Structure 1
Amino acid sequence: MFDQIDETMKDALQADCTRYAPSIEIISVRVTKPRIPERVRRNFEQMEEERTKVLVAVKRQRVAEKEAETQKKIAITKAEKNAYVSKIVMEQKLMEKDSLRMQKEIENAMYIAREKSLADAKYYQTMKEAEANKLKLTPQFLELKFIKAISYITKMFFGNKISNMLMDQRLLGNFLRHLKGRNVSYISCAKDCGKNVST
């Protein structure tokens, strides 16, 4: 601040003169540059150099802190962006899974309804067949079936009398009564029974 010392000295002297000697007016002040000893100058320059180094270090530290803060903000922003993208991707996957689950539920419901409908139809068919069989399976119909079955026997022998047969009399039903008095002695039912039935 050596360039300002002239004005500062003039103002200070004029203030004192105005106070203690009002008739004195200071027109100008000129301070010559002092001669500083070499040792003092070197110390001053070293101090200035150290102070400059400190200021530079402080500035560098502030710059480094600002850079670190900027990197931190960038990292936070990037992490937030990645988290947001991950959240959207996860929601999309969940929606796809939910859609697949709903599709499977619909397919299962359709399958169950179809199987139930088939089971109901099969039950209805079985019940109707049972009702039809009740009406159809009369003694006369069974006798007709027996006659047709016996007509397929490969061999039939006729004789003077039938003493005993290894067939159930209930199976023969009215057919035996119908054949009473005829000459039947031996029946081989190899085709239907797989063995000979003899008297």
Structure 2
Amino acid sequence: MDAQQQQRAAAPRPRPPEGGGGGGDFSAIFTVLLAFLGIAAMIIVPSASTLKQSLSILHQVPEGHVGVYWRGGALLNTITGPGFHLKMPLLTNFEPIQVTLQTDLVRDIPCGTKGGVMINFEKIEVVNRLHKDYVYDTLRDYGVQYDNTWIYDKIHHEINQFCSAHSLQQVYIDMFDQIDEKMKDALQADCTRYAPGIEIISVRVTKPTIPESIRRNFEQMEEERTKVLIAMEKQRVAEKEAETHKKIAVSEAEKYAHVSKIHMEQKLMEKDSLRRQEEIANAMYLAREKSLADADYYRTLKEAEANKLKLTSQYLELKFIEAIANNSKIYFGNKLPNMVLDQRLLETFCKTQSRKRT
């Protein structure tokens, strides 16, 4: 071994860095890892951009949508539901189609009325839904923007048709509440005929914008109409109040008449009761007087019979003597009355009367 080799062998060797391999190996691994993550981000992770969708293998269909696919520009009949799905990158394109309720907003629709006045509908909302079973047929015939044909353009056409057939008064006031239903029926009729998968749920039409001078005229007409309605309402209220007062008066009169009738019936009943009491009292008095008269008649009759039995000559003579005895007057003289002294004459008179009675 020469001196140069010995010097190299004797020189100290550099120590490797702590932790294993050299710096070159670590850099290579890190570069490969970044490249792998970049490829995964481009191919595996789904994205919203069209370029990344064409490059990605894994894609996501949101809830309320279905997945529709094109390969080489041709629509495939494969329809997928919500969730993650796989497709061929670059060759197959993917588009989510909403199958739940959605609202299409159509703005700034100018139209001319029957009288030639230009008005503008600022906003019309159309609530619609595409049935899942008709997604393939609808997209095959009308493309992804099928609502441009059957909603946006159709609304413009139907609004212009409606305005051209009616006056401003009808469009703005008289028939405005019917425009929603007319637009809905017109859209649904054509969709049912040409695109049966589209269902029109409802149409909401805002008030159109009209020229300022005409709008002021309508406002004045509305004010006058409001005044007339207020006057009619006041008249109706007055009539109702008068009718109410009339009903109250009739009710009060009927109440008083009913009370008066009750009082009259009560008085009549009292009078009838008094009359019956008087009749009973009269009957009682008549019966009592009749009883008294009968009793007096019977007493008199019995007294007469008793007197008839008493009127004998002996009894009359006894009564005569008692009457003379009770007389306290004494007469003196040569001539006394015959009635006093002639007792025979008195006896003869009594016998004569007794014979007459018998």
Which TM-score band (shorter chain)?
Answer: 0.5 to 0.7
Larger Rg: 2
SS of residue in 2 equivalent to 1:154: coil
* Cα distance change on mapping 1:97 and 1:172 into 2, 3 Å: same
Specify which structure has the higher proportion of helix. Answer: 1
Whether the aligned pair in 2 keeps the contact of 1:146 and 1:172 (CA below 8 Å) is no
Asked if structure 1 preserves the Cα contact closer than 8 Å seen for 2:120 and 2:209, the reply is: no
Greater CA drift, 60-69 or 3-12 = 3-12
Name the structure 1 match of 2:346: 173
Name the residue aligned to 1:75: 249
Alpha-carbon separation, structure 1, partners of 2:226 and 2:212: 21
Return the letter of the residue paired with 1:154: K
Higher relative contact order (CA 8 A, sep 6+): 1
Contact conserved, 1:143 with 1:174, CA < 8 A, in 2? yes
Q: How has the CA–CA distance of structure 1 residues 5 and 135 changed in structure 2, closer, same or farther, with 3 Å as cutoff?
A: farther
Which residue identity does 2:337 align to in structure 1? Answer: M
Aligned residue-pair number: 157
Q: What is the TM-score with the length of structure 2 in the denominator?
A: 0.38
Alignment pair present for 1:110 and 2:284: yes
Q: For residue 9 of structure 1, report the CA deviation from its aligned partner.
A: 6.1
Q: Deviations over 1:107-138 (max 9, x none)?
A: 11000000000000000000000000111011
Structure 1 unaligned segments of length 5 or more: list them: 19-29, 176-199
Give the alignment's TM-score, normalised by structure 1. 0.64
Residue in 2 aligned with 1:35?
211
Query: Aligned residues: percent identity?
Result: 60
* The structure with more strand, counted as a fraction of residues: 2
Of 67-76 and 130-139, deviating more is: 67-76
Query: How large is the Cα RMSD of the aligned pairs?
Result: 3.5
2:332 is matched with: 157
The one-letter code of the counterpart of 1:36 is E
CA distance in 1, matches of 2:249, 2:266: 25
Report whether the alignment pairs 1:11 with 2:158: yes
Q: 1:63 aligns with which of 228, 237, 251?
A: 237
User: Which 5+ residue runs of structure 2 have no aligned equivalent?
Assistant: 1-118, 125-154, 162-185, 191-205, 349-358
Q: 1:122 to 1:11 in 2, by over 3 A?
A: same
